[in-house]
Amino acid sequence: MKKTVLVSGGAGFIGSHVTVELAQAGYDVVIADNFSNCDRTNYDGVCRILGKKMPLVEMDFCDAKAVDKLFDDYKIDACIHFAAYKAVGESVAEPLMYYRNNLLSFINILDQAHKRGLNVLFSSSATVYGEPEHLPVTEKSPRQPATSPYGNTKQMCEDFLRDSVAAYPGVKGIALRYFNPIGAHPSALIGELPRGVPNNLVPFITQTAIGKRECLSIFGNDYPTPDGTCQRDYIDIVDLAKAHVCAVARMLDGKMKKPYEVFNVGTGRPVSVMELVTAFEKVNGLKLNYKFAPRRAGDVTAIWADPTLANEDLGWKAERSVEETLAAAWAWEKRLAGK
């Protein structure tokens, strides 16, 4: 009997890639999204990749009645929760919008888990580690006080899941702490679709290369790192999506060691902004227009994962090279531009 996975926010960048990998791994998938933060490009791309019209429920997870109806209409075996706002800077300007949307939507899902017994996979973030004292970070590394309401909602939702698992029988949970998701599907039919000016590095790079942006500003080249620019753990979006399939299987196949588990999902390889720009130019055979600019408030100097636990317990390992990822990101940007 095929298991059914609900992907909340499934029309988004990460949700769409996870939907493809889940379907290709043999799961039935229900996508639910209110399209507040994306258009239908990725949903249409998912249907093209999978060769079928995927079940789609257009709804807002802040609407408890709509959430209850969704779980009445579909027999859900596991839920992956992506539906949230995710722009760090915007969250500082609009904290209540972030707290209301990101916390209430997850509480509504946890209410269903409490009512029906459910496996819940939460999309968390390495941002919970703040500026780590020791590198690489493991799951035991201390969470630092959040530096943005966005980061705070990630920490609070991890705690909501942890406490719900402890209190309500039949609820199991995994939090995946992503490092920096980048890239696009090799088909170039789904990828990152930032609204307006991209906050994140790779979409700004590809939009500069395609001519949508004049020049990339590299925020700070005076950090205490080998080349003076910040270091991150950039993880290919398809590798990241496959980690979700491993986590769903772990929950549904009864392989969890504890009812609540946390995994770092990263490559374990630090890459600096300058290294990423240089790799992008090399693999795509182009020169990027960039300049050094002052540091961006809130940036951490360096963070990268110790992915041992995910490698060993999830049976998952990042496989794609940063060059492959940047080539896919560029192919996606060119397709968006109709090239």
As annotated, the active-site residues are 150
Which of the stretches 42-50, 51-59, 193-201, 279-287 binds ligand WQD when contact is defined by CB under 6 A? 193-201
- Footprint on residues 265-284 left by ligand WQD (CB under 6 A): 273
- Footprint on residues 158-187 left by ligand WQD (CB under 6 A): 180
Q: Are 28 and 248 in contact (CB under 8 A)?
A: no
Q: Are 339 and 331 in contact (CB under 8 A)?
A: no
Kindly write down the DSSP assignment for every residue of 17-85, as one continuous string. HHHHHHHHTT-EEEEEE--SS--SHHHHHHHHHHTS---EEE--TT-HHHHHHHHHHS--SEEEE--S-
Packed helices 201-210 and 273-284: angle between N→C axes, nearest 10 degrees: 40
- Footprint on residues 98-127 left by ligand WQD (CB under 6 A): 125, 127
Of the pair 126, 314, the CB lying nearest ligand WQD is at 126
Of the pair 44, 90, the CB lying nearest ligand WQD is at 90
- Footprint on residues 18-57 left by ligand WQD (CB under 6 A): none
Q: Please, how many CA atoms are within 13 Å of residue 113, restricted to the half-sphere of its CB?
A: 30
Is residue 138 part of the contact set for ligand WQD (CB under 6 A)? Answer: no
Q: Which of 88, 241, 245, 328 binds ligand WQD (CB under 6 A)?
A: 88
Q: Which of 6, 113, 218, 336 binds ligand WQD (CB under 6 A)?
A: 218
- C-beta of 115: minimal distance to ligand WQD in Å? 30
SS3 category, 263: strand
User: Distance between CA atoms of 103 and 92, rounded to whole angstroms?
Assistant: 16
Of the pair 256, 288, the CB lying nearest ligand WQD is at 288
Q: Are 309 and 263 in contact (CB under 8 A)?
A: yes
- C-beta of 2: minimal distance to ligand WQD in Å? 30
Kindly write down the DSSP assignment for every residue of 181-221, as one continuous string. EE---TTSSS----SSS--SHHHHHHHHHHTSSS-EEEE-S
Q: Which two tokens stand for residue 66?
A: 């709509």
Of the pair 166, 215, the CB lying nearest ligand WQD is at 215
Is residue 244 part of the contact set for ligand WQD (CB under 6 A)? Answer: no
- C-beta of 204: minimal distance to ligand WQD in Å? 4
Q: Which of 92, 219, 313, 321 binds ligand WQD (CB under 6 A)?
A: 219
Is residue 200 part of the contact set for ligand WQD (CB under 6 A)? Answer: yes
Q: Which of 199, 210, 324, 335 binds ligand WQD (CB under 6 A)?
A: 199
Which of the stretches 16-24, 33-41, 103-111, 216-224 binds ligand WQD when contact is defined by CB under 6 A? 216-224
User: Distance between CA atoms of 105 and 83, rounded to whole angstroms?
Assistant: 8
Helix (H) or strand (E) holding 324: helix 322-336
Helices (H), 80-148: 88-93, 95-98, 104-116
Hey, how many other C-beta atoms are within 10 angstroms of the C-beta on 127?
24
Of the pair 71, 223, the CB lying nearest ligand WQD is at 223
Site string for ligand WQD, 289-318 (x = CB under 6 A): -------x--x-------------------
Which of the stretches 47-55, 102-110, 199-207, 324-332 binds ligand WQD when contact is defined by CB under 6 A? 199-207
326 Cβ partners below 8 Å, 6+ apart? 182, 183, 202, 276, 279, 280, 283, 284
Of the pair 51, 211, the CB lying nearest ligand WQD is at 211
Of the pair 165, 216, the CB lying nearest ligand WQD is at 216
Q: CA-based angle 214:35:57, to the nearest 5? A: 150
**Binding region for ligand WQD (CB under 6 A):** 86, 88, 125, 127, 180, 199-201, 204, 216-219, 230, 232, 273, 296, 299
